[in-house]
Amino acid sequence: MSPADRFARLPDLLSCDADLQRRGRWVTVDCRVDVGEQPFFLGLENGALAAFERGTRLMRSSAFTIRADEEAWAQHWQAMPAPGWHDLFALTKRGAASMEGDFRPLLQHLQFFKDLLALPRRLAMES
């Protein structure tokens, strides 16, 4: 399964995580996550994914974007990621990921977003 295909499972992974949804109950924001060349548009409402679209959307606005190359996500989603690949900021520090846009909603709910973006790790644990 490609990293983008794994990220496409995010709605299922989040719906199975009642604790993460509880912790995200104040999160309502549109944001974008790029897995390699594949953009994903996330519409979060009260911690749930009200919208989740894969692929280019012309002129779609989002509060912030998080980008990483395929290798970075693949490493990040290992069941036990290696040092330097295990955290979003470890990825940005090594230059394998970037963040841009309005950082306020991201920083207001930082643990939620870090945990959300790490959810595909569970697919590696299952296999």
Partner 1 sequence: MAPTLDPMVGRYLRLEIDGVDHRIYFEEAGPKEGGGIPLVCLHTAGADNRQYRHLLADPEITSRFRVLAFDMPWHGKSTPPDGWEKTEYRLTTASYTAAIRAFCRAMELDKPVVMGCSIGGRIVLNLAIAHAAEFRALIALEAADFQQPWYDTAWLHRPDVHGGEVCAALVSGLIAPQSPPVNRHETLWMYMQGGPGVFKGDLYFYRVDGDLREKVKSIDTKVCPLYLLTGEYDFSCTAEDTLRTAVQIPGVEVQIMKHVGHFPMSEHPAKFREYILPVLQKIS
CB of 89 to partner 1, least distance (A): 5
- Cβ proximity of 118 and 112 under 8 Å: no
For residues 70 and 87, which CB has a smaller minimum distance to partner 1 in the complex? 87
Q: Which is nearer to partner 1, 14 or 117 (CB)?
A: 117
For residue 27, the minimal CB distance to partner 1 (Å) is 13
Comparison of 56 and 89: residue with beta carbon closer to partner 1: 89
Least distance (Å) from partner 1 to the CB of residue 103? 7
Could you give the CA distance from residue 13 to residue 101 in angstroms, rounded to a whole number? Answer: 26
Contact positions vs partner 1 (CB under 8 A): 80-81, 83-84, 86-90, 92-94, 103-104, 107-108, 110-111, 114
Q: What is the DSSP string of the chain?
A: --HHHHHTTHHHHHHT-HHHHHHTTT--EEEEEEETTEEEEEEEETTEEEEEEES--TT---SEEEEE-HHHHHHHTSSSPPTTSSSHHHHHHTTSEEEEE-HHHHHHTHHHHHHHHHTTHHHHHH-
Least distance from C-beta 13 to partner 1, angstroms? 18
Residue with Cβ nearer partner 1 (54 or 86): 86
